[in-house]
A = this chain, B = another copy of it.
């Protein structure tokens, strides 16, 4: 039985998501089983850039205009400065040979990290399965999260 790591990704801040993937990929490379549970703003990380058009009430449509998906759209939690800070940080990451979030998602997926999307938030926000990237393993709720988390050596809320 491998040791387990379970991470809730609540945030879609570039910096925090970066930390989450570094821990996740580090854990699999140390032969641990990793589950990443994406909820609330974190769902944006595993959403396609373009949402599928569907009949939604005006509130979900407005929320969709503000709260856009796509791993390339993540911003720094500090010093975003209309995108300049975020863009500089991305360049600094590249200079240090650090992969982008998109590359980290692929890397995580390839190395066996399990990617779960939170169904409760999806319903509230009007996000459907087709809006999610193909790397998502499953859509599940808090019971699934808890079943894995209580068997995990490391639990984090990011």
Question: Which residues on B sit within 8 Å (CB–CB) of A139?
Answer: none
Question: Which residues on B sit within 8 Å (CB–CB) of A150?
Answer: 3, 5, 32, 153-154
Chain A residues proximal to chain B, CB less than 8 Å = 3, 5, 8, 10, 15-16, 18-19, 22-23, 26-27, 29-30, 32, 39-41, 57, 59-60, 62-63, 66-67, 77-79, 85, 88-89, 91-93, 95-96, 98, 120, 123-125, 141-143, 145-147, 149-158
Question: Which residues on B sit within 8 Å (CB–CB) of A8?
Answer: 19, 156
- Could you tell me the distance between the alpha carbons of A22 and B32 in the complex, rounded to whole angstroms? 27
Residue of B nearest to A25 (CB): B142
A62 and B41 within 8 A (CB): no
